[in-house]
Structure 1
Amino acid sequence: MKRLLVPPERIGDGKARIRGESLHYLSRVLRVRVGEPLEIFDGRGAAWSGVLASIDAEEAIVGLQGEPRRATRPAITLAQGLAKGDKLDLVVQKATELGVTRFAPLRLERCVVQLDPAKGADRARRWRRIGEEAARQCGRADVPAVDEPATLRDFLDAAHQRGERIAVLWEEQDPGVRLGPWLEANAGEPLALIVGPEGGLTSAEVDLARSRGAEVLSLGTQVLRTETVGLAVLSIALHLAGELG
């Protein structure tokens, strides 16, 4: 079924009111006609079946049927070092499909890419759009939060404020200190999973995270690319949480 993201403030009284870019997407991309069914989701976990009731140049009205379906999923933040090219575009898209609830790009010492605040904000907006589109395509009713790039110290502060259990995936950790047992021990808790950039995390960064209560873990003996690590970690976490497989 065709799906459309509509902000919660435009949903109420059994209707969704669609304007602006969403109206253009509805009429020109999805090409929904009056009387045709579609699904409306609010990006916060609620979705409704609906029927397009009316449309003009300014606004479309979708009549919503019944109570919303509400999604619940494990709270998992993926914090990943800034990477070259469009690698993080892919990570955001696929992490959204897998079920991540927050994506936090990190400014780390070995990041080849260094974004000033303005460019960081622009990139975050781009990643939010990618997350919205991936959520629409994969059937999610919620859209992951996307933070602007932050330092590791600032991210750790924010993760503690959210009550997250923090793990650092580090290629220099003993391969016997695995992610799986830590995930099982923290089942049901909000998680933050930290992945380094192409050059990896420095010892000082790992020590900082450890000093803030993070566990330093290994994925095994193989060295994976940065864009692979985040998705592998998410897949393992969501499988153990009963969301995949």
Structure 2
Amino acid sequence: MQRYFIQKGNWQDDHVTITGDDYHHIVNVMRMEPGAEILCNHPDGNVAHCKIAKVENETVFADILHWLDSETESPISITIAQGLPKGDKWEFILQKATELGASRIVTFQAERSVVKWDDKKVSKKIARWGKIVKEASEQSHRNQIPTVDGVLSLQALLEESQSYQWKFFAYEEEAREQQSSKLHDYFSKINKGDTVFVCIGPEGGFSVNEVEQLKAASFQAVRLGPRILRTETAPLYVLSSLSYYFEEMR
């Protein structure tokens, strides 16, 4: 059943109104008519099973049939901080990280990032990034859409990470060490409801200066298996590992 995230102002006691891009998708893409049933997500994370009552004035009016007992969010809050990658890798990461349960996804201008984005370029892209995570959330039946931030500096990233309970960064040098810290070593220590911040470097990895800053900010260097992963693979490895342990094994 098709799922849509509806803003708070469009909810009434027993019905919901759908406009904009979601109206277009329902009417022109899915070609739904009155009587069709859909799922509507409220911003608070609750999900309503609805039936389309009428379509007029570029608005879909849907009656709320009942609220669902549906929980698809991760039991831990995971933030992925990705060193700004080149090409379309960032959009790929946004989509897949959303599917795999990230609650927040940010990117930062690393010393070895190949591309450099100024504020003007970022402001033009934020709306597109929001659309990518919204559509990925609908496709994967998330209860909530992850937060996406603009491009931060490493210093801003470190300041924002202070409130997190667990902080890790994937360091390729750790993968070469047999006795290095593994991400899995910490799983049994993380509890339901905890906040986890994972920092991933760009294509060229972290510089020595960045590694020193991360460690000074209480980030733990971890290996993600014995192989060196591409920058766009690393966050998916982390999220998949956390999802399997906390959602399937527990």
Give the TM-score of the pair, scaled to structure 2: 0.91
Residue aligning to 1:65: 65
Within the candidate set 106, 129, 132, 1:130 is matched to: 132
- In the alignment, structure 1 residue 181 sits paired with structure 2 residue 185: yes
Runs of 4+ in 1 over 3 A off after TM superposition: none
- In the alignment, structure 1 residue 141 sits paired with structure 2 residue 146: no
Work out the CA distance in 2 between the residues paired with 1:31 and 1:62: 15
Give the fraction of aligned pairs with identical amino acids, expressed as a percent. Answer: 29
1:44 offset after TM fit, Å? 4.5
Residue aligning to 1:218: 223
- In the alignment, structure 1 residue 193 sits paired with structure 2 residue 195: no
1:155 offset after TM fit, Å? 1.3
Task: Assess, with a 3 A threshold, how the Cα gap between structure 1 residues 164 and 9 changes in structure 2: closer, same or farther.
Answer: farther
Residue aligning to 1:150: 152
Task: Assess, with a 3 A threshold, how the Cα gap between structure 1 residues 231 and 211 changes in structure 2: closer, same or farther.
Answer: same
What amino acid maps onto 1:79 in structure 2?
A
What amino acid maps onto 1:10 in structure 2?
N
Residue aligning to 1:19: 19
Residue aligning to 1:170: 171
1:124 offset after TM fit, Å? 2.8
Structure 1 unaligned residues grouped into runs of 5+: none
1:164 offset after TM fit, Å? 4.0
Work out the CA distance in 1 between the residues paired with 2:220 and 2:191: 15
1:70 offset after TM fit, Å? 5.0
Task: Assess, with a 3 A threshold, how the Cα gap between structure 1 residues 86 and 18 changes in structure 2: closer, same or farther.
Answer: same
| Contact 2:46–2:67 under 8 Å retained in 1 | no
Structure 2 unaligned residues grouped into runs of 5+: none
Within the candidate set 99, 103, 113, 1:97 is matched to: 99
What amino acid maps onto 2:189 in structure 1?
A
1:184 offset after TM fit, Å? 2.5
Q: Deviations over 1:173-232 (max 9, x none)?
A: 235311111233223311011000000011111111111111111113211100001100
Work out the CA distance in 2 between the residues paired with 1:132 and 1:43: 12
Work out the CA distance in 2 between the residues paired with 1:130 and 1:206: 31
SS in 1 for 2:240: helix
| Contact 2:40–2:49 under 8 Å retained in 1 | yes
SS in 1 for 2:167: strand
Task: Assess, with a 3 A threshold, how the Cα gap between structure 1 residues 142 and 243 changes in structure 2: closer, same or farther.
Answer: farther
- In the alignment of these two chains, the number of paired residues is 244
Q: Deviations over 1:84-117 (max 9, x none)?
A: 1111111111111111111011111000111101
1:83 offset after TM fit, Å? 0.7
Q: Deviations over 1:41-98 (max 9, x none)?
A: 1354221100001111232211112235453422100110111111111111111111
- In the alignment, structure 1 residue 35 sits paired with structure 2 residue 35: yes
Residue aligning to 1:117: 119
SS in 2 for 1:12: coil
Work out the CA distance in 2 between the residues paired with 1:26 and 1:20: 10
SS in 2 for 1:227: coil
Give the TM-score of the pair, scaled to structure 1: 0.93
What amino acid maps onto 1:185 in structure 2?
K
| Contact 1:4–1:26 under 8 Å retained in 2 | no
